């Protein structure tokens, strides 16, 4: 996996049903724009070291101690920058998360704006499944504990996006709960179990996603 970039241009925002912008929340609270130049360089150096460890040993090889040694810094420096191992692994996923959010918030249809909401829901799930398959081990290693699983910023953005599309597709339904049902289907641990342990091809999960969306929105999955 390539090293995460030290800084990225801000992404465009989406709009909710009232036309108000939805702000993206990525990374740690004190993300790059507020960092001094030397702190940003140190952060990029640590992420580059962590990326090398992932490429050489997999996500299990990424510990705070191993990253500190690879970057030739004290372990305390890594903890101060990322908080804990979950924070470090989440930061490694940040670049691909930004690209994914840019795609469904402002990219071309059907994943981005311009397609009917049900079509966008199908495209979102398929893109999410493919991304999960590509970054499975890192996603699982970065999985927050039960107390943080549903409050992590990227998950809130994903859930909010799915909820918005459901409100457009099936107004009047309990779209918050329906969105939770759909996001449960995309859970990385579930995808890992089905693809790695049960041997299901990704295409079967994508087809199952289409059928689930169709059932929840009372539409034809073949359209």
Domain ranges of the chain: 30-83, 85-218
Band of the pLDDT at 12, cuts 50, 70, 90? very low
Tokens encoding 27 = 């990374």
Neighbours of 10 (CB within 10 A): 9
* 20 pLDDT above the threshold of 90: no
pLDDT for 122 equals: 98
pLDDT for 104 equals: 97
Cβ-Cβ contacts under 8 Å for 14 (sequence gap 6 or more): 21, 22, 105, 106, 113, 161, 164
Q: Does this model's pTM top 0.85? A: no
Q: Could you tell me which of 61, 64, 50 has the C-alpha nearest to residue 93?
A: 50
* 4 pLDDT above the threshold of 50: no
pLDDT for 16 equals: 44
pLDDT for 215 equals: 95
Report the chain's C-alpha Rg in angstroms: 18
Cβ-Cβ contacts under 8 Å for 183 (sequence gap 6 or more): 155, 158, 159, 162
Cβ-Cβ contacts under 8 Å for 156 (sequence gap 6 or more): 25, 150
* 34 pLDDT above the threshold of 80: no
Considering the domain 85-218 in this protein, what is its CATH number?
Answer: 1.10.357.10
Comparing 30-83 with 85-218, is the CATH topology the same? Answer: no
Which range (110-114, 143-147, 208-212) has the least confidence? 143-147
Instruction: Write the burial class of residue 98 (CB in 10 Å: 0-12 exposed, 13-18 middle, 19+ buried).
Output: buried
Architecture of domain 30-83: Orthogonal Bundle (1.10)
């Amino acid at each position: 996996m390539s090293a995460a970039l030290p800084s990225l241009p801000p992404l465009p925002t989406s709009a909710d049903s009232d036309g108000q912008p939805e702000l993206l929340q990525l990374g740690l609270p004190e993300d790059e724009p507020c960092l001094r130049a030397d702190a940003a360089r140190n952060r990029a150096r640590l992420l580059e070291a962590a990326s090398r460890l992932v490429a050489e040993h997999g996500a299990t090889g990424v510990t705070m101690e191993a990253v500190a040694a690879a970057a030739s810094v004290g372990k305390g420096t890594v903890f101060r920058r990322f908080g804990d191992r979950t924070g470090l692994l989440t930061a490694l996923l940040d670049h691909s998360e930004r690209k994914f959010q840019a795609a469904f918030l402002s990219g071309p249809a059907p994943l981005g704006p311009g397609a009917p909401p049900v079509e966008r829901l199908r495209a979102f799930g398929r893109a999410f499944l493919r991304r999960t398959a590509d970054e499975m081990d890192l996603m699982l290693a970065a999985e927050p504990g039960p107390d943080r699983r549903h409050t992590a910023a990227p998950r809130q953005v994903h859930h909010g996006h799915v909820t918005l599309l459901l409100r457009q597709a099936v107004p009047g339904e309990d779209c918050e709960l329906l969105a939770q049902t759909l996001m449960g289907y995309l859970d990385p641990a579930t995808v890992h179990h089905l693809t790695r342990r049960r041997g299901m091809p990704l295409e079967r999960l994508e087809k199952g996603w289409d059928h689930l969306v169709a059932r929840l929105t009372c539409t034809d999955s073949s359209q």
